[in-house]
């Protein structure tokens, strides 16, 4: 155990990769290592990046990583590809990347496909972040390939969230944009050599102006656990962050330095305002909630027999019992089992 912990803290790449795989596969021994690593975390800065497919997120992430490396910062990239349930995208992504960034020990790239359950993905991502943080990676970029609730939930838990747009996408994408607007700390309009880039920037500005005078964002709600008292407010937090809009051509690297600059400013803003601590708390709360749900479910299932469970399920499929009443019945069976 101590040896494995030391290897991670020293940044041993093989040990990092192995531990993340073990955590993905729910190996109990890996959790012991994670517990030992945890006191060594909390130093990394987490950058989330999201946006519709085809906006060039992966290329942008590569360029960001290169620039950070130029500043002698170490970078871990966690690429989350939840639309690939069994095989596919995640591996492809790794292959494309390795060409460009291979051989640099200050960069670590890890792809993660779906974990079977909705909460499982969020938990596996959180575990990987803990490992990277303990291994002293200074910047952790969390990139999502899919654009859905799970991905947005994960990306928004980062300290800074980049939302990538491109000029001239259709109506459906506009609708998505409305939702992403509210989680963006930095906007990037990529493929800025395309027609319509100024129109896209103007549209984003208009949307930002519309929301500027509205009341502050409601605190993120992640279910039951989220009912905690708000952190003490500081005067600086009253000055709202206005998300900058950066124009980039990721394929040539043009404008990527402005994204780094925007992230640096946002980080400074969050540190001085005390909002960083608030985000960190939200992130850990979300992580605890995912683990709690899995553990509670496993705990209940261990108390029920397969026959008990299948009987209830059959009653539901035959419409003799509705799913909510079925759940209450299962909970009651679990209670009785205990006493």
Find the part of the chain contacting a second copy (CB under 8 A) among 3-11, 36-44, 194-202, 242-250. 36-44
Find the part of the chain contacting a second copy (CB under 8 A) among 65-73, 249-257, 261-269, 291-299. 291-299
Single residue of 103, 170, 215, 232 touching a second copy by CB under 8 A:
170
Find the part of the chain contacting a second copy (CB under 8 A) among 62-70, 97-105, 239-247, 289-297. 289-297
Answer whether 114's CB lies under 8 Å from 85's CB: yes
Find the part of the chain contacting a second copy (CB under 8 A) among 4-12, 194-202, 246-254, 313-321. 313-321
Minimum gap (Å) between residue 316 Cβ and a second copy: 5
Find the part of the chain contacting a second copy (CB under 8 A) among 14-22, 31-39, 232-240, 252-260. 31-39
Taking each helix axis as running N to C, give the angle between helix 275-303 and helix 118-134, from 0 to 180 degrees, rounded to the nearest 10: 130
Tell me the β-bridge partners of 163.
50, 187
Residues 198-257 that bind a second copy (CB under 8 A): 217-218, 221-225, 227-229
Minimum gap (Å) between residue 303 Cβ and a second copy: 12
**Please, which residue, 306 or 336, has the CB nearer to a second copy?**
306
Cβ neighbours of 146 (radius 10 Å): 19
Helix (H, G, I), strand (E, B) or coil at 40: helix
Answer whether 240's CB lies under 8 Å from 213's CB: no
Answer whether 101's CB lies under 8 Å from 126's CB: no
- How far apart are alpha carbons 24 and 271 in whole angstroms? 32
Task: Say how far residue 115 (Cα) sits from the centre of its chain.
Answer: 14
Strands (E), 40-98: 45-51, 75-81
Tokens 């059959």 -> residue: 314
Tokens at 231, concatenated:
């952190």
Minimum gap (Å) between residue 71 Cβ and a second copy: 26
Does 287 bind a second copy (CB under 8 A)? Our answer is yes
- DSSP-derived secondary structure letter, 109: E
Minimum gap (Å) between residue 261 Cβ and a second copy: 26
Secondary structure element (H or E) that encloses residue 160, with its range: strand 160-165
Residues 68-127 that bind a second copy (CB under 8 A): 81-89, 92-93, 96, 113-114, 116-122, 126
Does 61 bind a second copy (CB under 8 A)? Our answer is no
φ, ψ (nearest 5 deg) of residue 164 = -100, 130
- DSSP-derived secondary structure letter, 168: S
Single residue of 4, 45, 49, 151 touching a second copy by CB under 8 A:
151
Single residue of 2, 3, 178, 206 touching a second copy by CB under 8 A:
178
Residues 317-336 that bind a second copy (CB under 8 A): 317, 319-328, 330-331
Does 147 bind a second copy (CB under 8 A)? Our answer is yes
């Amino acid at each position: 155990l101590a040896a494995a912990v030391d290897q991670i803290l020293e940044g041993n790449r093989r040990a990092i990769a192995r531990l993340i795989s073990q955590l993905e596969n729910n190996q109990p021994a890996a959790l012991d290592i994670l517990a030992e690593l945890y006191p060594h975390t909390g130093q990394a800065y987490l950058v989330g990046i999201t946006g519709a497919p085809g906006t060039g997120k992966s290329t942008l992430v590569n360029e960001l990583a290169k620039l950070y490396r130029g500043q002698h910062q170490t970078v871990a990239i966690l690429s989350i590809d939840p639309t690939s349930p069994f095989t596919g995208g995640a591996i492809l992504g790794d292959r494309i990347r390795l060409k460009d960034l291979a051989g640099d020990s200050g960069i670590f790239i890890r792809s993660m496909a779906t974990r079977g359950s909705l909460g499982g993905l969020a938990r596996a991502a959180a575990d990987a972040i803990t490992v990277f943080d303990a291994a002293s990676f200074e910047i952790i970029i969390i990139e999502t390939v899919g654009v859905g609730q799970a991905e947005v939930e994960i990306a928004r838990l980062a300290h800074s969230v980049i939302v990538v747009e491109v000029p001239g996408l259709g109506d459906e994408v506009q609708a998505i944009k409305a939702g992403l607007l509210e989680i963006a700390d930095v906007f990037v309009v990529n493929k800025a050599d395309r027609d319509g880039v100024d129109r896209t920037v103007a549209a984003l500005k208009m949307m930002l102006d519309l929301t500027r005078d509205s009341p502050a964002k409601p605190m993120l709600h992640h279910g039951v656990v989220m009912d905690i008292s708000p952190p003490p407010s500081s005067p600086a937090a009253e000055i709202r962050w206005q998300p900058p809009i950066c124009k980039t051509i990721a394929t040539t690297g043009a404008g990527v330095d402005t994204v780094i600059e925007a992230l640096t400013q946002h980080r400074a803003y969050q540190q001085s305002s005390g909002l960083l601590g608030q985000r960190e708390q939200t992130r850990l709360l979300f992580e605890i909630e995912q683990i709690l749900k899995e553990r509670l479910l496993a705990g209940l299932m261990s108390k029920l027999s397969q026959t008990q469970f299948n009987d209830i399920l059959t009653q539901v499929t035959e419409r003799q019992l509705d799913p909510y009443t079925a759940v209450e019945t299962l909970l009651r069976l679990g209670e009785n089992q205990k006493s």
